[in-house]
Amino acid sequence: MQLTRELLRERMPLVAKVVDEFRAEFGPGVKVLWAKEGDFEVGKIPLSKSIVIEYYPEQNTRRGQ
């Protein structure tokens, strides 16, 4: 299975929404290193937690670590 942009957006709609919000705020250079939604996971977990952002959609808030 080839991971296309469409497939990723279909399998990970919340991640897609957050990435869209980040790109709108910080520009098109935002890159996703690792993401997991449900049982679907892509990328590699970064070694540094300083770039991990927790997202709480029910509260519509973000908190960096």
Between 18 and 56, whose confidence is greater?
A: 18
Output the pLDDT for position 63: 52
**With the C-alpha atoms ordered 20, 26, 65, 4, is the resulting torsion angle positive or negative?**
positive
Q: How far is CA 28 from the centre of its chain?
A: 14
The number of domains in the chain is 1
Contact assessment for residue 11 and residue 37, using Cβ atoms and an 8 Å cutoff:
yes
Q: What is the pLDDT of residues 4-55, one digit of tens each?
A: 999 999 999 999 999 999 999 889 988 898 999 999 999 998 777 566 666 6
Q: Are 44 and 33 in contact (CB under 8 A)?
A: yes
Please check whether residue 31 is in contact with residue 44, taking contact to mean a CB–CB distance below 8 angstroms. no
**Does 58 have pLDDT greater than 90?**
no
Task: Tell me which residue range forms the domain holding 25.
Answer: 5-64
pLDDT of 65:
44
